């Protein structure tokens, strides 16, 4: 309650400051909630990262989704991935402590490339308990590309790409201070943020600070969930210059993330026992982003360095006093990464666009603790690509090819006179490509077809891991004989817009050879369930359909359904005496791929009150939503690797308004309630689903967060010299 009072006080204190400021420019601090397909002018102007540079969304052959700044502000979640994971085709792998990993059409971990500040985010993303260390305050909008994107981003992007766009530079002559914050009731989460940006004579800057803290969340069965707390403190800055010849920007970010470790151990009365372990993660990133204009061409060069320093602390209790001791570092990994991306974009006569370039990364990982998950290693990655786009009347064609090479060297390690890791040297190459077309059938209808080939080299964890993952309560063993995954995907899409209806459909089929996954072994190691990496050919099929009906302008009724089914098409290893070709006998057992999200239907009704659209108070809205997750009974049941997940429905409410001071500053206020009826549920992709069984209820694992109220505020203040 005290945090709510603090935020209300901040709002009341800052509003007079905003009222007294003078303004000379209209700006886009307040934007549409999302891309409104009913407004064709908007759809025509929206741009995304195409294969040959920026292109219009309506001309993109690959399935794209754009999350606008307004939608990000209105979304509720403990982190950014959690906030947008409910959109069609997206999901998350969570461990309940503020850690969420993006999943696109059933594929996650290193199969999803996250691009932040122009370079791919690298931070031990192979682990369940390893989150996405990005500063959410520095994210202005998000693009999600569904499907293999190795053509643009090299190895790993066979599920898709999540591009986190920073805030656009302010207009010339503007300076702005922005303050904001939020409070969530369930886990007493609060954050406050402050930023300062400006543009004077072509010189740009944008600096901000974020402080976030959350206690353990609760639900109606488990009560408070020990270890689900987290703290975060981030600093991010940009200094650059925009001139007629191009731009040169230098970006810096420092993310300090401290999550607890939820182990899910229970006492005899069924209550969860106290969890004393925690992590400390510090992610540092420096990026130089440059562009030079040459007639009809642009040369772009991005070079970045990032360091991910991850430590895991254990706290033991003394037997006599039961008092906690000082925490000791158990696991410590320091990952250095240098990213580089150089490309030339050229526009030719007759509506041709070409691009060519080179990109890749260098990595070095060093263990500095007493416990180990993966060995020390070095990695070098390089790729060459060329792409093209062509416009012919109502047709838009795009395609390209890429060659990649990745070399990995892992060091050996002896522990207690035993071999913990063996030396390993691997070299992987891949040739990828893409070919797509968009047919603008009418002004209201577009058809899309795209075929793409992806490539993903095994990670060092899949090849050589040998250790306990405390956050996911499992022991993992690598497989040095793994081959590179190769993906072939076909996408078919249709979108139709009219005055009252918007319809988008997207269907896909993805064939992956040598698909890598974890399979449980029939024994335990050091008291933990033991898993080992295996391979099998796989096929994933599914799609998304979205329908938005608005019989009159203030009212929107939106529905979306997403589905993915993943199966093994060929087994490359014996399964408990079964013949390798006896796949029909393993339906519901070993044939389904693990970690496939359940089918999901979302429905929302939103109404904007037109009577409030006046000078100071605009866009007052009220919305109600429902998310229904169907039962997931297509799961990888071999050796009890996974279990079925019952269906559940969650109901949400939200309301908000934009306050305009003198018609310029936009103060955004949002109130929401998630899980309105306090439903107890377990997402199928939650790793806490497989922790200890409650001896009282017989229910295994830890449930997700219960009812949660949230209030958000964002207040920009323009400064005029």
pLDDT digit string, tens, across residues 12-49: 333 333 333 333 333 344 444 433 433 333 445 566 66
pLDDT of residue 425: 94
Q: Per-residue pLDDT averaged across 493-504, rounded? A: 91
pLDDT band at 460 (very low <50, low <70, confident <90, very high): very high
**SS3 state of residue 551:** coil
Give the domain range for residue 462.
Answer: 2-719
Higher pLDDT, 417 or 121: 121
Q: Give the CA distances from residue 201 to residues 31, 169, 242, 636, in Å, rounded to whole numbers and listed in that order.
A: 26, 13, 9, 59
The token pair that represents 417 in the structure block: 């006179």
Q: Over 90: is that where the pLDDT of 623 sits?
A: yes
pLDDT digit string, tens, across residues 652-678: 999 998 887 655 567 889 999 999 999
The token pair that represents 217 in the structure block: 């969340």
Sequence-distant (6+) residues with CB within 8 A of 143 are 48, 49, 64, 65, 66, 67, 161, 162, 163, 165
With beta carbons less than 8 A apart as the criterion, state whether 653 and 674 touch.
Answer: no
Nearest to 165 by CA among 64, 245, 38: 64
pLDDT digit string, tens, across residues 101-111: 899 999 988 89
Q: Over 80: is that where the pLDDT of 100 sits?
A: yes
pLDDT of residue 253: 95
The token pair that represents 127 in the structure block: 């682990």
pLDDT of residue 584: 40
Tell me the β-bridge partners of 176.
197, 718
The token pair that represents 153 in the structure block: 């981003």
Which helix (H) or strand (E) segment holds residue 708: the answer is: strand 708-719
Instruction: State the total domains in the chain.
Output: 1
The token pair that represents 259 in the structure block: 């999550």
CATH of the domain at 452: 2.40.170.20
Q: How many CA atoms lie within 13 A of 459 on its CB side?
A: 22
Of the listed ranges 144-148, 247-251, 461-465, the least confidently predicted one is: 144-148
Of the listed ranges 115-129, 468-482, 653-667, the least confidently predicted one is: 653-667
Q: Over 90: is that where the pLDDT of 1 sits?
A: no
- What is the Cα–Cα distance from 426 to 413, expressed in whole angstroms? 17
What percent of the chain stands above pLDDT 70? Answer: 86
Q: Per-residue pLDDT averaged across 686-714, rounded? A: 90
The token pair that represents 491 in the structure block: 């996408």
Q: Cα dihedral angle (589, 592, 597, 603), rounded to 10 degrees? A: -90
Q: Over 80: is that where the pLDDT of 572 sits?
A: no
pLDDT of residue 342: 95
Mean of the per-residue pLDDT values of the chain? 84
pTM listed for this prediction: 0.87
With beta carbons less than 8 A apart as the criterion, state whether 662 and 692 touch.
Answer: no
Of the listed ranges 299-303, 612-616, 672-676, the least confidently predicted one is: 612-616
The token pair that represents 172 in the structure block: 């010339």
C-beta atoms surrounding 432 within 10 Å: 27
Q: Calculate Rg over the CA atoms of the chain.
A: 25
Residue carrying structure tokens 């060995």: 375
């Amino acid at each position: 309650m005290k945090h709510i009072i603090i935020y209300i006080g901040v709002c009341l204190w800052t509003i007079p400051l905003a009222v007294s400021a003078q303004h000379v420019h209209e700006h886009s601090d307040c934007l549409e909630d999302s891309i409104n397909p009913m407004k064709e002018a908007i759809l025509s102007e929206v741009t995304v990262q195409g294969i040959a540079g920026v292109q219009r969304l309506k001309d993109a052959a690959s399935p794209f989704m754009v999350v606008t700044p307004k939608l990000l502000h209105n979304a509720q979640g403990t982190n950014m991935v959690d906030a947008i994971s409910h959109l069609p085709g997206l999901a998350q792998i969570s461990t309940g402590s503020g850690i969420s990993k993006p999943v696109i059409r059933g594929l996650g971990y290193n199969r999803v490339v996250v691009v932040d500040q122009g370079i791919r985010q690298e931070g031990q993303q192979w682990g369940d308990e390893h989150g996405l260390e990005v500063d959410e305050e520095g994210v202005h909008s998000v693009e999600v590309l569904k499907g293999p994107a190795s053509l643009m981003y090299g190895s790993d992007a066979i599920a898709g790409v999540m591009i986190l766009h920073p805030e656009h530079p302010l207009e010339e002559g503007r300076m702005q201070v922005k303050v904001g914050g939020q409070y969530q009731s369930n886990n007493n989460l609060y954050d406050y943020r402050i930023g300062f940006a400006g543009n004077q004579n072509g010189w740009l800057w944008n600096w901000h600070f974020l402080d976030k803290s959350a206690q353990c969340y609760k639900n109606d069965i488990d009560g408070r969930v020990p270890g689900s707390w987290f703290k975060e403190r981030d600093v991010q800055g940009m200094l650059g210059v925009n001139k007629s010849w191009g731009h040169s920007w230098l970006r810096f970010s420092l993310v300090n993330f401290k999550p607890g470790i939820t182990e899910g151990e229970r006492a005899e009365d069924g209550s969860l026992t106290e969890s004393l372990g925690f992590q400390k993660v510090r992610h540092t990133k420096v990026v130089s982003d440059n562009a030079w204009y040459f007639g009809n061409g642009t040369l772009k060069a991005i070079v970045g360095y990032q360091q991910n320093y991850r430590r895991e602390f254990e706290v033991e209790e003394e037997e006599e006093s039961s008092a906690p001791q000082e925490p000791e570092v158990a696991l410590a990994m320091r990952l250095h990464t240098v990213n580089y991306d150089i490309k030339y974009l050229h526009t030719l006569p007759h509506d041709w666009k070409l691009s060519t370039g080179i990109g890749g990364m260098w990595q070095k990982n060093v263990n500095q603790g007493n416990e180990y998950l993966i060995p020390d290693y070095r990695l070098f990655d390089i790729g060459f690509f060329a792409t093209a786009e062509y416009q012919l009347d109502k047709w838009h064609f795009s395609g390209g090819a890429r060659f990649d090479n990745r070399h990995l060297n892992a060091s050996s390690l002896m522990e207690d006179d035993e071999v913990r890791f063996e030396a390993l040297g691997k070299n992987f190459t891949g040739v990828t490509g893409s070919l797509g077309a968009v047919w603008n059938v009418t002004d209201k209808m577009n058809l899309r077809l795209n075929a793409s080939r992806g490539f993903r080299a095994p990670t060092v964890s899949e090849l050589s891991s040998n250790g306990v993952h405390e956050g996911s309560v499992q022991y993992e063993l690598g497989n040095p004989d793994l081959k590179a995954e190769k993906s072939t995907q076909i996408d078919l899409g249709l979108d139709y817009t009219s005055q009252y209806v918007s319809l988008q459909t997207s269907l896909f089929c993805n064939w992956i050879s040598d698909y890598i996954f974890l399979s449980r072994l029939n024994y335990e190691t050091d008291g933990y369930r033991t898993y080992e990496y295996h391979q099998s050919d796989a096929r994933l099929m599914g799609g998304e359909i979205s329908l938005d009906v608005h019989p009159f302008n203030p009212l929107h009724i939106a529905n979306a359904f997403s589905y993915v089914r993943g199966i093994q098409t060929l087994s490359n290893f014996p399964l408990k005496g079964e013949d390798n070709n006896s796949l029909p006998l393993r339906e519901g057992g070993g044939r389904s791929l693990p970690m496939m999200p359940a089918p999901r239907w979302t429905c929302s009704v939103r109404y904007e009150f037109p009577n409030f659209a006046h000078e100071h108070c605009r866009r007052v809205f009220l919305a109600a939503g429902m998310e229904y997750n169907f039962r997931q009974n297509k799961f990888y049941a071999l050796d009890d690797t996974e279990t079925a997940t019952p269906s559940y429905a969650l109901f949400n409410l939200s309301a908000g308004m934009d306050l305009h001071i003198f018609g310029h500053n936009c103060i955004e206020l949002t109130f929401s309630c998630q899980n309105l009826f306090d439903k107890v549920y377990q997402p199928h992709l939650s790793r806490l689903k497989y922790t200890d069984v409650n001896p009282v209820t017989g229910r295994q694992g830890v449930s997700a967060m219960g009812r949660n109220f949230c209030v958000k505020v964002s207040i920009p203040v323009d400064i005029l010299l």
